[in-house]
Each structure stands twice: as C-alpha cells, then as structure tokens.
C-alpha cells in the first residue's frame, strides 16, 4: 500500500473514531507522519500505533493526538503551549490550527530534529525550546490552550498558573501503575475545574532535563 493510500486509510480511521472536524483532518493530512518517525518504522508511519522515536520516547497514536487536539477546541487566534514536542508531529498539526505554538521538549536531540522537520514543512508559527515542561513557559504566559503529552500524577501548579482566563488544558493524569485519564482543565472566572474524558497510557511527565542530571553528576565528582 502506498503512503498516500495509508494516509487515506488513517483519515477514515479518524472519522470512524469520531474525529469529524474538517480542519483537524486537513491538518493531519498536511503533516506527513512518515517524516516524524525513524526510517526503520517508515512502513508503519500510518498505522494506528505509538512508535519509538529515541530517548525512551514515543510518537503517540494518531487517534490519540487527534482526540486530544479536538478537545482543545482551537481556532486561528489562539496561542498554544505544548509540553513534550517529541518528534514534532503533534506540533505540526497544532501549527495548522492556531495562531502560534510554543513547544517545550526535554531532549535536545529530539527538539533539534523536530525543528528541522518543522522548518522543512515551513511551519514558521512554532517557537520551540529545550526545557522542563513541568515549569511551563512563564515568559510567554498566559496561554489560551495548553496540551501535555506525558502523564502527571497531578496537574502541575505552574501550568495552572499559566492558563489564561477562559483557557483550556488537556493533560493525562495518573501514574504508571493504573489507568490514566485525559483530563480537561478549565479556568472560568478564576475558578479551576477538571473533567475526566477518556482513559489512556502515556509515559510519565518528568521534572528537569536530562542535561541537568549530567551537569549535577559532573559537579559531584
């Protein structure tokens, strides 16, 4: 099956999963998933599975990405904070649906490769940095939307503080020993509310950066 045929199959699968927003489907079509997976897995790029991308990280199933983005309720005037850019696949889709994406990734190598892909696709409304996602991006806050691509035991206070009035955050909540729940966090009139949406399995949201631990080890020698 050609890549074009595989992409058509994926769009049909997303529709069957309840993703009917034509703008989201168009953004998925414009984001070639084969570009965001290692060459070893190129023939599985459009399978509905998570795939390894290095550093113990994965690119999420397309249906999970699409459902989380749909839950954000985006428009082209919105500024989005993305925690966990990974390979840049979700970042690319987001960039077609909002005004600007601010993306944070812990792993410098992953972010470098993601940035190269996004530049190749001319996704110039993305600003990305290496950083600790649990701390968010206070210099650019507040954000109308926040999306987190790793599971936290509870919603980080820093991210709640950076959520704009009327804003929405989509984040997996739960540990690795039980089901996690995609949770919609909203701020209305200064009040934070949380609604559980559906169960998932994500890697954990980890504080700090790998570079920080290396620096600490060198300093303690």
Q: Specify if 130 maps to a domain.
A: yes
Q: Residue 167 is part of which domain span?
A: 3-206
Report percent pLDDT > 90 for the chain: 88
Q: How far apart are CA 155 and CA 150, in angstroms?
A: 11
Q: Specify if 211 maps to a domain.
A: no
E strand or H helix that includes residue 194: strand 191-200
Q: Specify if 174 maps to a domain.
A: yes
Q: Specify if 169 maps to a domain.
A: yes
Q: What is the dihedral of CA 146, 152, 156, 159, to 10 degrees?
A: -10
pLDDT at 79 over 90: yes
pLDDT at 214 over 60: no
Q: Specify if 132 maps to a domain.
A: yes
pLDDT tens per residue across span 105-127: 999 999 999 999 999 999 999 99
pLDDT at 36 over 60: yes
Q: How far apart are CA 163 and CA 159, in angstroms?
A: 6
Q: Specify if 213 maps to a domain.
A: no
When pLDDT is cut at 50, 70 and 90, the band that residue 3 belongs to is: confident
pLDDT at residue 212, rounded to an integer: 58
pLDDT at residue 209, rounded to an integer: 77
As a whole number, mean pLDDT of residues 151-177 equals 95
Q: Specify if 216 maps to a domain.
A: no
Report percent pLDDT > 70 for the chain: 95
What total number of domains does the chain contain?
1
Active site residues: 60
pLDDT at residue 176, rounded to an integer: 73
pLDDT at residue 210, rounded to an integer: 78
Q: How far apart are CA 89 and CA 95, in angstroms?
A: 10
pLDDT at residue 164, rounded to an integer: 98
pLDDT at residue 218, rounded to an integer: 39
Q: What is the pTM of this model?
A: 0.93
The CATH number assigned to the domain holding 81 equals 3.40.50.150
pLDDT at 169 over 70: yes
Q: Specify if 218 maps to a domain.
A: no
């Amino acid at each position: 099956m050609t890549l074009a045929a595989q992409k058509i199959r994926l769009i049909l699968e997303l529709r069957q999963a309840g993703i009917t927003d034509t703008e989201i489907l168009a953004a998925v079509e414009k984001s070639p998933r084969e570009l965001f997976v290692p060459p070893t897995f190129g023939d599985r790029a459009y399978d509905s599975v998570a795939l390894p991308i290095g550093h113990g990280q994965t690119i999420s199933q397309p249906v999970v990405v699409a459902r989380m983005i749909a839950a954000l309720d985006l428009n082209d005037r919105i500024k989005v904070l993305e925690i966990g850019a990974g390979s840049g696949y979700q970042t690319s889709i987001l960039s077609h649906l909002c005004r600007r994406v601010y993306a944070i990734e812990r792993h410098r190598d992953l972010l470098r490769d993601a940035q190269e892909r996004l530049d190749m696709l001319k996704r110039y409304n993305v600003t990305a940095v290496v950083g600790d996602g649990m701390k968010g991006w206070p210099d650019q806050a507040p954000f109308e939307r926040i999306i987190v691509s790793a599971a936290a035991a509870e919603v980080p206070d820093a991210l709640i503080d950076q959520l704009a009035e009327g804003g929405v955050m989509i984040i997996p909540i739960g540990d690795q020993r039980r089901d996690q729940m995609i949770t919609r966090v909203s701020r209305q009139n200064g009040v934070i509310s949380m609604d559980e949406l559906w169960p998932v399995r994500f890697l954990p949201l980890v504080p700090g950066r790998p570079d920080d631990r290396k620096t600490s080890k060198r300093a303690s020698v």
